[in-house]
Structure 1
Amino acid sequence: MSGNRLIAAGNKRLRKAPDSAVDPAVPAELQKGAASPDAKQNSVDGQEPSVFARGRILSADDITGTPEEQLTFVTERLHEIDLAGKRAEDFIVLNKAVLLEVAQERELHLVAGHTNFAVWAGSVLDVEPKYVFELLQDAARIRAISELGPDLTQHLTRASARKVMAEVIASQGLETAQVVMTEGIAQATEQGKRRPTASLLASIAKELTAPSIPAQEKRSEISDPPVTPTAPVAPAEVAALERAAASLKERVYSPLAPSAVQAALEADPVATREHLERLDAEVQRVVKRLTAATRAVDAASERSEASAD
């Protein structure tokens, strides 16, 4: 029964495109209208069919218009086919995983005359046995990060990035993972990158969960003497500034990411504008105070250097 549930779950996740008879490994949006001569009539949600429909190969004649229009066409199509390729890879990984999981659970490798599942699966897939388990782990991560939603998961095309985010979901929860992804996308955009790297996501996740103030030591009356801390505890006034900087990044910077603002606009454009205007007014006040505080620090440093001389 568990094997049947596993197959059903896999089929639910990997629903074929309506025109999958053309090529079930090609994402649905690239097959719009491919099953009918009248492409526009059969397009999904009234959208124009993809230029890659029916597995079509483009030619130079498809790229027309002004140089700016040609650049836009080339750039958008490169992004489209790149994303489609990544989705096709996920399609393949998930389907392989379902087949391998069922084969392992039902010990079908014994029927094939093999005592070792990984050796049998590796010979079927023409890969090293260790890669069989890596494929199964990657499929589990793809399933886990799917909870983030398509707007965020489309940026997790590398196995290393999926591994980081799957661990964040498991250890810190879905909401934290969504904040990490939103912040990661924003920072990657600032750096001129199309998607956040695994190291960037791991760094953001660490920053969001790191305590702002060292945790107070808990011990009983008869416990061993306390261990001397390796670093001095910051004064309360300094700790307040540390918390302010951390809070600003977590509570303000992440919600201002392009994807987060777009989601807010779709939910309630009027309220979104009002909140942004209020936030802008508060930021202006903060900037004035920050400028004054910075000047005070600079003046103090100058006086300290002058006295030293």
Structure 2
Amino acid sequence: MSGVVLPSPAATIHVAGAAKMDAEPEQPTKNAVDNDQSPSPSEPDSDAIKMFVGQVDGSGLSPPTTRYAHDSFKNVVVELEENPILGIRTPEGDEGLWGGERVVKGWIESAPYTKKKILPRYWVPKLFFPALKTSVLYSEILDKYIKVTVTERAMRLIDENFGLDYYILKSNEIDLDSKFANSLKRELLLTLATESYYENDEDKKCYIKDKYAEFKIPEEEAEWVGLDLNEAARKLQDIEDSMPPVPLKYSLEKDLVERLRGGLDEVSQELEGPNAPVRTESKFGDKLFGKYMNPIGQKLRNATR
């Protein structure tokens, strides 16, 4: 006999959002341009694709190591299931560095220490929030101090990457899981692309340039980093609107001239070849207006002689 066993009171969740979710990317809102088939300014790279369809780094998860386990409460062997924790994204999470943590909805027992002889114990829902704190972080590239709300996991990741800049630049957008972090990453990449840092200190500028040389990308590509689907669609629409429209006749005329110069126009070759059709004048106009126009034309020819 096998089945799914509810956690015992000793196995109740104690840490708020300590596990990182393997959640699917969020669906775009109604403001997204659904029918926009316009091509992007550049070829899509792997990082842009991973932002929407990639998987979250699962280093914060603790999946089961075995397929089966013994349930001491029911004294049966049960099959373990690997169900990632799906967190709830909040607006406050987009304003800080949470290291991928979110608000987690779980279950707790109602009055677990109260003995109930008749009614059973009920599981009631509960929201588990990450432990937040305010910290001041330093960005070496921007040369600025940033006061932001962080979690213990985010601070641990910053320490493991030896600084805020390395943590932001090395992490994927889907792992940062924050609009603030993605905006900061775009700002760092734009600063590295334009080299607009430490203008008055050449030694420090050369040091930063050599230290973060692996993260330098073209400015046109850095402008698109960290944008969500709605922001990218609006940016592309603004670029297309800023470009003056070119009449179609100019492109068709240019194409025709190139084909005529290269001798690739089949219609013109048929008309100019030896087997070209003979053009004859229409007699319809002469029959209809000849008796009126011919005398006038004859008088004009005589007057000009």
- TM-score range with shorter-chain normalisation? under 0.3
User: RCO higher in 1 or 2 (8 Å CA, sep ≥ 6)?
Assistant: 2
**TM-score where L is the length of structure 2:** 0.23
**TM-score where L is the length of structure 1:** 0.23
More strand by share: 2
More helix by share: 1
Is the radius of gyration larger for structure 1 or structure 2?
2
